[in-house]
Amino acid sequence: MVSKEKEINMEIKDKVILITGASAGIGYAAAQLLWKDGAKLAVNARSKEKLDQLARELPGSVVFPADMEDELAVRDLVEKVQSKFGRLDILINNAGRGMNCSLETIDI
């Protein structure tokens, strides 16, 4: 029996989406694409200045600077997004940090 692939369609318009690591790279590009599709964006990174620039490029997006290495800051971030928008529909957990060392020397 041949199975048919199911196409998944997700309506992005008016979804509240939190993107961590939105100040550069993949997070920045995702923010641009999702904004064009009508998402309500909550953008996060450590650099408020870079986030403010992104918010100027994507009117209506809301800036939430926080360091993802700080557990309390992460909890506060989620609470602020939910308080601002009343909900959180999608999380794009993109924040990361480049490590220029061998795996054995990384301190978890």
Q: Check which CATH number belongs to the domain holding 29 and give it.
A: 3.40.50.720
pLDDT of residue 42: 98
In a domain, 108, yes or no: no
CA distance 97 to 50: 16
In a domain, 101, yes or no: no
In a domain, 102, yes or no: no
Tally of domains within the chain: 1
Residues belonging to the chain:
108
Name the one residue in this structure whose structure tokens are 């992104």.
54
pTM here?
Answer: 0.83
Q: Residue 24 belongs to what domain range? A: 16-96
Average pLDDT, the chain: 90
In a domain, 92, yes or no: yes
In a domain, 58, yes or no: yes
Residue 28 — pLDDT band, cuts 50, 70, 90?
Answer: very high
Q: What are the pLDDT digits (tens) for 59-68?
A: 999 999 999 9
pLDDT of residue 101: 81
In a domain, 63, yes or no: yes
In a domain, 10, yes or no: no
Query: Under 8 Å CB-to-CB from 23, ≥6 apart: which residues?
Result: 43, 45, 46, 47, 50, 51, 54
Contact present, 63 and 20 (Cβ < 8 Å): no
Contact present, 94 and 21 (Cβ < 8 Å): yes
DSSP reduced 3-state for 91: strand
Q: What does DSSP assign to residue 105?
A: G
Range with the lowest mean pLDDT among 41-45, 62-66, 69-73, 99-103? 99-103
In a domain, 3, yes or no: no
Token couple for 69: 């290495």
pLDDT of residue 9: 64
What mean pLDDT do residues 59-86 have? 96
